[in-house]
Amino acid sequence: MHDIHIEHHRPEHTFSAIHEKKGFGTILKELLIDMIPVVLGILIALSFGGLKESWKEKNEERYYLRRLKNDLQEDLNELKDDVRNYAARKYAAAYLADYEQNKNADLDTAIRYIYNLFGQTGPNVTNAAYVTLQSSGKFDIIQNKEITEHLVILYSDVVRSLTNITGSFNQFKQEFFNNVVYQRYDLARMKDPALLKQLLSDTSIKNALHMLWFDEVMGRYNKAIERHQAIIDEITRELNS
């Protein structure tokens, strides 16, 4: 019986031999090709993360813009109410100053105007959204820098100026009321026509009524109203863009 010999032929080129024949440039090229999907995946993930963060910041910006607009509108309404009050007091001062010459002057109306005239009115504008952005360091979240610049001018200049003049105005009225009216006249007897006539014929009181700077105060109010409305319009355009 003959033995069967099976010859095992080794391949002519082993794996290492193949790579030995490849140049460095070829290997690097293949490596780069293999890395492309990985790099693309990383870039896509980073891009998605960036878009997500950008979307989050945009939503937060719009949230604060809406809050700013709502607070500005509330402040605007408050300022308009104050202007109406000052207009009524200006009329009251003129009515009282001309009381003696006014043939249609009415005692009850005059008494009501006296108490109304010395009421205290000042701007109560507290934009909570603006304060929050300033205190939290998030003011830069508003991308439209014209809006932020106008807000800073509004509250650091216009509103402060208005607060100062109304404070001085109210202080003058209060001191005059306490030092002149209260000291000279018994207001418990205000309904006495003779006392009222004496009060309203008092030269110092008539002069004080003419001195009250209503027009300047109302001018400051109107400036604040215009600025509030302008910023509201700016924010509305930004939200609609």
Kindly report the average pLDDT of the chain as a whole number: 81
Residue 96 in any domain: the answer is yes
Q: Say which residue the tokens 């989050």 belong to.
A: 56
Distance CA 70, CA 127 (A): 9
Residue 91 in any domain: the answer is yes
Helices 203-211, 24-97: axis angle to 10 degrees equals 150
For the ranges 131-135, 147-151, 159-163, 187-191, which has the lowest average pLDDT? 187-191
| Domain with 136 in it | 62-240
Distance CA 235, CA 241 (A): 10
For range 230-235, the mean pLDDT: 97
Residue 12 in any domain: the answer is no
- Residue 159: the pLDDT is 92
Per-residue pLDDT of 199-230, as tens digits, reads 888 888 888 888 888 999 999 999 999 999 99
Residue 231 in any domain: the answer is yes
Residue 7 in any domain: the answer is no
Per-residue pLDDT of 42-98, as tens digits, reads 766 666 555 555 657 788 899 999 999 999 999 999 999 999 999 999 998 888 888
Distance CA 231, CA 241 (A): 15
| Res. 15 pLDDT band, cuts 50 70 90 | very low
- Residue 31: the pLDDT is 66
Sign of CA dihedral 20, 22, 26, 30: negative
Residues 6+ apart with CB under 8 A from 76: 225, 228, 229, 232
Per-residue pLDDT of 166-201, as tens digits, reads 999 888 888 877 777 777 777 666 677 777 778 888
Alpha helices in the chain (DSSP H): 15-21, 24-97, 107-117, 128-136, 145-153, 159-176, 182-184, 193-200, 203-211, 214-240
Residue 29 in any domain: the answer is no
| Amino acid identity at 114 | I
Distance CA 36, CA 40 (A): 6
Q: Which residue has the higher pLDDT, 4 or 162?
A: 162
Question: What is the tally of structural domains in the chain?
Answer: 1
CA dihedral 96, 99, 100, 102 (to 10 degrees): 150
Residue 20 in any domain: the answer is no
Residue 170 in any domain: the answer is yes
Q: Is the pTM of this model over 0.75?
A: no
pLDDT at 131 over 50: yes
Task: Evaluate whether 90 touches 140 at the Cβ level (below 8 Å).
Answer: no
For range 2-18, the mean pLDDT: 50
Q: Which residue has the higher pLDDT, 112 or 152?
A: 152
